[in-house]
Amino acid sequence: MHLLARHPVHDRPLRIGMLAPIAWRVPPRHYGPWERVVSLLTEDLVRAGVDVTLFATADSQTDAHLSAVVPSPYEETPGMDAKVWEGLHLAHAFGRAPDFDLIHNHYDFLPLTYAGLVDTPVLTTIHGFSSERILPVYRAYNGRAHYVSISEADRHPDLTYLATIHHGLDLSEFTFQPRTGDYLLFFGRIHPDKGAADAIRVARAAGLPLILAGIVQDRAYFEREVEPELAADVCYVGAAGPSMRDKLLGGALGLLHLIHFAEPFGLSVVEAMACGTPVVAYPRGSMPELVEHGASGFLVADEAEAVAAAKRLGILDRAAVRSHAERFSVAQMVGRYLAAYHAALSQRRPAKLEGPDA
């Protein structure tokens, strides 16, 4: 049992209510980065000796206690009213608040409005800010709830954070491939933010084939910028589950991650490095925290630099790339969350708002 898996006062295991999103199953079948992190954290906490109850969809798979009122993920269930099931999901979890020492919220800002109705401390991992419009909720509970950022880059200046905890991987899921591959890879949502069209241009300019994998999140963008470019040297293979992900990432010469937004974290970046595959990325958001320039990849300013970097990927030591990725292990993530749980319990305070000006 991990030393921090026990309650700091009572002689028993910590009791944690883990609140997952319901867009995808835990763990996700293919896409679902928040759900994937929840799964990794939950399973390793259970192995550490923590008493975890996972609030997720009923088809989720876990060694924790699964508590579910949502039959299936709304992204995989045509006609499902997400708001209806979201309300039932959150009400169910917070209705059981007295059963836990702490509720760990991975469901963005909305559960904070429930947190003010219970005495159980709520720790929220902020997986990113979809827009400035959600900040009023975070500001309202700042200093009353506990916030964890997933990168230093994603900290908002108006908020107080308990910790920054990078996501961790189960490194055993990723096979180290010492041999350099012969293609470039784009692995992520097909969306303008993620730079799929940029990856196509860079790969062609570098004279290298490109494989694109991921869900189509913006159909119009796919049909306008990606689909017309598909050919012998550029192929789209759809969403990739765990085994296909490992094969694609490990077989690549490099991952092109030419994002157009300040990404809070990049699971695919660390996953590629875990296979020994270096990354070419724009230095936006968390990328400088994840990629060590010249060692685990290249941080580039524009497409011209990306083309030059793609041509130099073969000089990087893939064993060193894998070694760099090992700092993002699930073990370090779990240890830091256990420390954060203890810190939150030692600072226990009411989350209830005290009035309209609170």
**61, 158: one domain:** yes
β-partners of residue 15 are 51
Residue 280 backbone dihedrals phi, psi, to 5 degrees: -110, 120
**219, 122: one domain:** no
Q: If you average pLDDT over residues 217-246, what whole number do you get?
A: 95
Residues 6+ apart with CB under 8 A from 352: 116, 117, 144
91 lies in some domain: yes
Q: pLDDT tens digits for 283-306?
A: 999 999 999 999 999 999 999 999
pLDDT of residue 115: 92
**27, 149: one domain:** yes
Count of CB atoms within 10 A of residue 174's CB? 23
**248, 335: one domain:** no
CATH number, domain with residue 243? 3.40.50.2000
357 lies in some domain: no
> Domain limits at 241?
171-328
182 closest CA partner among 277, 274, 269: 277
pLDDT of residue 354: 44
Mean pLDDT of the chain: 95
pTM score: 0.91
Q: pLDDT tens digits for 19-56?
A: 999 999 999 998 899 999 999 999 999 999 999 999 99
Q: Could you tell me if 124 and 148 are in contact, meaning their C-beta atoms sit under 8 angstroms apart?
A: yes
Q: Report strand pairing: 51-55 vs 163-164.
A: unpaired
Q: Could you tell me if 42 and 54 are in contact, meaning their C-beta atoms sit under 8 angstroms apart?
A: yes
Q: Say how far apart CA 161 and CA 142 lie, in whole Å.
A: 9
Q: Which two tokens stand for residue 65?
A: 């206690």
279 lies in some domain: yes
Cis bond before residue 192 (omega within 30° of 0): no
Q: Could you tell me if 244 and 174 are in contact, meaning their C-beta atoms sit under 8 angstroms apart?
A: no
Q: pLDDT tens digits for 312-336?
A: 999 999 999 999 999 999 999 999 9
111 lies in some domain: yes
354 lies in some domain: no
